[in-house]
Amino acid sequence: MEIYKLYDSEYNFVNLIWKVELMDLSELVWTCFIQFGWPKSITLAALRKLCERGILQVEDSVTSARVSKEQVERCTSELIPVNPFRRRLSRFFILLTNFKNKMKSIMDYKKKSFRIFHGFLVVTIVCGIILTGYLNRPRTAREVRAAQYAAAKDQNIAISTQVDNLVFPENLTAGKRSTTWDGDTLYSIDCCFEINDTSTSRNSFGIIPDDLDSLSAAASSIFAQIDGIGSVRFIVYGDGYSSIVSYDKCVDSTDLTNYSLIENIVFYHSRDELHDQANNNTVTDFNGTAMYSTDF
């Protein structure tokens, strides 16, 4: 029997298709943005991955499910979780017990010096086993996250220098900047701006069309200088309309060195509305693990 096991984020994604049976691709992208806060690149990557696993299919830009909800839930209920740690721990205690019995037979000798020597040997071996197990133990989530933050901090220094050398429109004053990471992999860069007093308009709806070429050139420069990045967002705060101008990398499947930028502009009625969208947009990978952001 084919096993269809979905993580929580994948299940929620496929559940959108199950509810309506058929969904247009553009509608799916928009629904995922509203429901999960996913950008278009994340939605298409998730769709491609589920299609490769035979769970979803796309025909003529229409997405449908190849596997029913009942099949997935039945597979999930039949799977028996295995705890590898408990199995290793049981084997460890069995080996330790056998070792203890063998050492006990040796310690039965009446010579005191012999017993003291082997007692010291047992303590040394046990301490060595415990120390080896501690040093080779899997890192905790906190230790992994601390190492990731340290690596991100070091790379952010280099990224900050590259971004500082870019030329941004005179109407905008640069503010907070941050990077989003998936483990040790750089995912996206956010640059925040305030509309300054030199602008004839105090809202982004009035100046973004004039400064779009400069922002596009800055995004192209960032993609050219920083390897592996998939998205760049310029977040513009104004007294009236505020906006997010995002650029996503679209790589040619036949030539990975060749790519184009997908430009997307969203306007918000106030800075508070934009602030809530920009800061509460939690990005998750396909395993349901939240990515993390660091300022630079």
CATH number at residue 71: 1.10.10.10
Do residue 238 and residue 174 come from a single domain? Answer: yes
Do residue 111 and residue 240 come from a single domain? Answer: no
**Domain with 44 in it:** 8-78
Assign 80 a pLDDT band (cuts: 50, 70, 90): very low
CATH classification at residue 177 = 3.10.310
Do residue 103 and residue 170 come from a single domain? Answer: no
What is the C-alpha to C-alpha distance for residues 233 and 222, in angstroms, rounded to an integer? 11
Q: 43 lies in a domain?
A: yes
Are the C-beta atoms of residues 181 and 292 closer than 8 Å to each other? yes
What is the C-alpha to C-alpha distance for residues 239 and 203, in angstroms, rounded to an integer? 6
Do residue 57 and residue 122 come from a single domain? Answer: no
What's residue 163's pLDDT? 77
Do residue 115 and residue 230 come from a single domain? Answer: no
Q: How far is CA 48 from CA 42, 63, 227, in A?
A: 10, 11, 23
Do residue 40 and residue 162 come from a single domain? Answer: no
pTM of the model: 0.47
Do residue 217 and residue 163 come from a single domain? Answer: yes
pLDDT in tens, 208-228: 888 888 888 888 888 888 877
Q: Which residues pair with 22 in a beta bridge?
A: 64
Most confident range (mean pLDDT) of 78-82, 180-184, 221-225 is 221-225
Task: Give the count of domains, the chain.
Answer: 3
Do residue 121 and residue 24 come from a single domain? Answer: no
Q: 146 lies in a domain?
A: no
Do residue 90 and residue 63 come from a single domain? Answer: no
Q: What is the mean pLDDT of the chain?
A: 77
Do residue 166 and residue 291 come from a single domain? Answer: yes
